[in-house]
Amino acid sequence: MSRSFLASAVVGSLLSGCSAAPKPGSSEELAERQSTFEKVDANHDGHISWDEFRVGVTAILEKENSWRAAGFRTMFPGQQQSILRSNFDKMDTGHKGYLVFSEWKDE
């Protein structure tokens, strides 16, 4: 499995929910994205910093029961961090160093 595929799959899995994800664009999908964003935004300032992203997403993936999360957990910590950083940077479209809710989606 390629690193870029796994990177997209891991974050995509996180952002779209687990196995029974609601239909993309639905109000349920939006509510799930908002809830996950709020969980990762540890200081509740409306922005997800790199540190909040790294800690929050890792914690969620440690608990998630999916093949994607399991694959992520088998990687060395440096590989995990590299994948997370790559996804964070891709999502941070304004290159601000943090994510806002409108960027909190899998593309």
Q: What is the pLDDT of residue 18?
A: 47
User: How far is 88 from 96, CA to CA, in rounded Å?
Assistant: 11
2-to-9, 43, 56, 65 alpha-carbon distances in Å: 11, 34, 24, 21
Between these two residues, 9 and 50, which has the higher pLDDT value? 50
Q: Give the pLDDT of residue 59.
A: 93
- How far apart CA 93 and CA 12 sit, in angstroms, is 16
Q: How far apart are CA 85 and CA 87, in angstroms?
A: 5
The pLDDT score that the predictor gives to residue 84 is 95
Q: How many CB atoms lie within 10 A of CB 47?
A: 15
Per-residue tokens: 32 = 């799930």
Q: How many CB atoms lie within 10 A of CB 69?
A: 18
Q: Give 45's DSSP letter.
A: S
Its pTM surpasses 0.85: no
19 three-state secondary structure: coil
pLDDT tens per residue across span 16-63: 544 456 676 788 888 989 999 999 999 999 999 999 999 999 999 999
